[in-house]
Structure 1
Amino acid sequence: MIKRFKKLIGRYKNLEQIYITPYRSYGTYSHLYVKGRVLDNEPLKIVKDQSLYRTLKNTWKQFDSFEIPDVEVELRIPEQLQLRAKTNAEGYFLFDKNIEENLAKDTDEEGWVPYEIYYRSPVEKGTNLLANPFRGEFLIPEVEAEFGVISDIDDTILQTGVTSFLKWRLLKNSLMTNAYKRIPLKDAPDLYQKLHKGKSGKNKNPMFYLSNSPWNLYEYLKLFLDYNKFPKGPILLRDFRTPFDGTLKPEKPHKQKEITNILKTYPDLNFILIGDSGEHDASIYTEIAAQYSDRIKAIYLRSVKHRRQMKRVRSLIDNFDTVPVLLANDSNEAEQHARENGFIQ
């Protein structure tokens, strides 16, 4: 709070610490797409047995971020690649670039490439650079992949309560519940592991996770996915827009933009789309499927307990025969459909 007050009155001059969060992302052997953020914040520390006070304090810290604009960072893949970029007004940096080198030669057995991010702007005396380099990784899907999976997070694998009255359950779950105590929807991790293995059982099918949550919740959601043993995959969130944000609003919804970008990045890979019937997944997914009818193998939508939303979704999918659409009550129904259609063993 003291730092926030000093910033408001113009007395906050020097950085206290520099922390870089590289986000899990994706690429190809010749294209790099890596995003991250540079902040004057301490790393978020979430522990299993933390108190409600500590949970609320962590929530506050996630949104009380102190971005560091207009500083230079360097991405390095040792003995292969060095690139530089500057952060924008919100502290974000982006490497979206075609590369001559073969990036795939440094992948692990599931296609992940480790990289290093260095802070390259001057560091003033008294400022604590928490690490240099900071470490991240991006995914290059295996050529043996049978298909990819693009999945929503909110109310698809993580119960949020986004359709609750006045969204009170959403606020309680997101702001007052420890990430270790968030319970995934029943059997969802098992379904996703089977889709990741596919028919071959080789753990080659790439998984992409989407959410309309802001990047402030990245560490929280990453911990939830890892702790509950979902297959590792790029996590794609959105910028947090305030009422005072003067930048142009994106023409397309966040999820539609990200899905389109993934499809264009991997033109030879087909996909399964997974979402829920609570908000706009049905309309976004069917629009994508209509545009890329030869690329979408199936759409799975988890049913939510909301009569008006379910009525709207059924009106969208009842006459949609471009690709198979399953409105599933649970993960077992989706698993059965995937097995019957030869997606999994």
Structure 2
Amino acid sequence: MGWFKKDPLQIISFQSYGTDSHFFARGRTLEDESIDLESQKIWHLAVNTWKRFKTDEIRNVGVNIKLPNGKILKTTTDADGYFRVEANLKALEALTNEQGWLAYELSYDDVNIKRSIQNENRFPGELLIPADTAQFGVASDIDDTILQTGIVSLLKWRVIYNSIFKNAKNRTPLEGAADFYQQLHQGVSGENANPIFYVSHSPWNLYRYLEVFLKQNNFPKGPILLRSLSNFLRKKPEGEKPQKQKEILDLLKTYPKLPFILIGDSGEHDPDIYMEIAEEFPDRILAIYLRSVKHKKRMLRVKGLVENYKTTAFLMVESSKQAIAHAREQGFIK
């Protein structure tokens, strides 16, 4: 009716990954709710949390992806506003910067759309193409692996409290985690540029929140791989692999010559997922690091699982110092 001003549109590109010949991008089209990632006021934090999950997605709309060489790819968003583009191309590595990131531009296909910020129909995106110097990749969980969330707390009340009443810049990383990941990224030569992939069961609604947290706390820049809220809420059919497992298997498929280190925690399903992956790819998984959580029953279960496990190096750690010492012994870091 024209009484209320409509929110501007945006295209959120999720940092992704690819190869010299394979382009892979995904993201979401939404109304821009102007979420304030800086405010520390309780009311603003609560409102921002509501905005993250009460999204106004732009359904079934055309999106263009323009590469630096002028190549344009086209896709259409689904009923939740998500899009996913994969294409076999050539010489993509020549388009990357020194850190291996390929920047591209997204836009709505409809030239009449004038509701983007400043009426500009241009949005940034990027994907990582690992350097030839990389010796291995790292696939890491986020919750209670590098970010204190309280995932094993009673009724997960700490997760709820932290997500609503703390902004991304005030969240606490686990001690020494950023230093450990920087060393893994640098590798034994100090310049290996080993890629770090952050794989979590958290919904895509938390993407920008987690992106700010990682940057604020000096973690290596890397693709953040989450899942849709609809998949988060639905009951998983019997026999279907968890989304985190699917993401890691896709990484192994994309980089068939790159071995991986898997990092997680003992609080949820990481032990089962990582062990199953290692059994399927015993020559590709260099080590599994699991951070211990303060939950006696779950710790006993995990210890029972790994007691006679011999497929790959498997280390339960109380601190990042233990993981760093082991990684140095194994020749992963200098």
TM category, shorter: over 0.9
CA shift for structure 1 position 42? 2.9
CA shift for structure 1 position 13? 12
Distance (whole Å) between structure 2 residues aligned to residue 146 and residue 240 of structure 1? 34
User: Quick one: which of 19, 22, 25 aligns to 1:34?
Assistant: 25
Change (3 A) 1:227 1:20: same
Q: 3-state SS of the aligned residue for 2:279? A: helix
Tell me what 2:98 maps to. 109
Change (3 A) 1:176 1:141: same
Change (3 A) 1:248 1:298: closer
Tell me what 1:88 maps to. 78
CA shift for structure 1 position 14? 10
Task: Report the RMSD for the aligned CA atoms in angstroms.
Answer: 2.3
Aligned amino acid, residue 182 of structure 2: Q
- Is residue 49 of structure 2 the alignment partner of residue 77 of structure 1? no
CA shift for structure 1 position 45? 2.3
Distance (whole Å) between structure 2 residues aligned to residue 155 and residue 19 of structure 1? 31
- Is residue 316 of structure 2 the alignment partner of residue 330 of structure 1? no
- Is residue 159 of structure 2 the alignment partner of residue 148 of structure 1? no
Question: Percentage identity across aligned positions?
Answer: 49
Tell me what 1:169 maps to. 158
Aligned amino acid, residue 104 of structure 2: Y
Aligned amino acid, residue 86 of structure 1: T
Distance (whole Å) between structure 2 residues aligned to residue 21 and residue 243 of structure 1? 19
Instruction: Give aligned pairs, total.
Output: 332
Tell me what 1:181 maps to. 170
CA shift for structure 1 position 12? 11
CA shift for structure 1 position 98? 1.5
- Is residue 280 of structure 2 the alignment partner of residue 291 of structure 1? yes
CA shift for structure 1 position 249? 9.0
Tell me what 2:49 maps to. 59
CA shift for structure 1 position 247? 11
Distance (whole Å) between structure 1 residues aligned to residue 48 and residue 198 of structure 2? 23
Distance (whole Å) between structure 2 residues aligned to residue 121 and residue 143 of structure 1? 39
Tell me what 1:228 maps to. 217
User: Quick one: which of 230, 235, 257 aligns to 1:268?
Assistant: 257
User: Quick one: which of 29, 32, 35 aligns to 1:44?
Assistant: 35
Distance (whole Å) between structure 2 residues aligned to residue 326 and residue 76 of structure 1? 44
Answer yes or no: is the 8 Å Cα contact 1:44–1:219 preserved in 2.
Answer: no
Q: 3-state SS of the aligned residue for 1:241? A: helix
Distance (whole Å) between structure 1 residues aligned to residue 116 and residue 35 of structure 2? 16
Aligned amino acid, residue 325 of structure 1: F
Aligned amino acid, residue 241 of structure 2: K
Answer yes or no: is the 8 Å Cα contact 1:293–1:323 preserved in 2.
Answer: yes
Unaligned runs of 5+ in 2: none
CA shift for structure 1 position 212? 0.8
Distance (whole Å) between structure 2 residues aligned to residue 134 and residue 317 of structure 1? 46
Answer yes or no: is the 8 Å Cα contact 1:304–1:310 preserved in 2.
Answer: yes
- Is residue 197 of structure 2 the alignment partner of residue 202 of structure 1? no
Aligned amino acid, residue 141 of structure 1: P
Answer yes or no: is the 8 Å Cα contact 2:187–2:194 preserved in 1.
Answer: yes
Answer yes or no: is the 8 Å Cα contact 1:278–1:306 preserved in 2.
Answer: yes
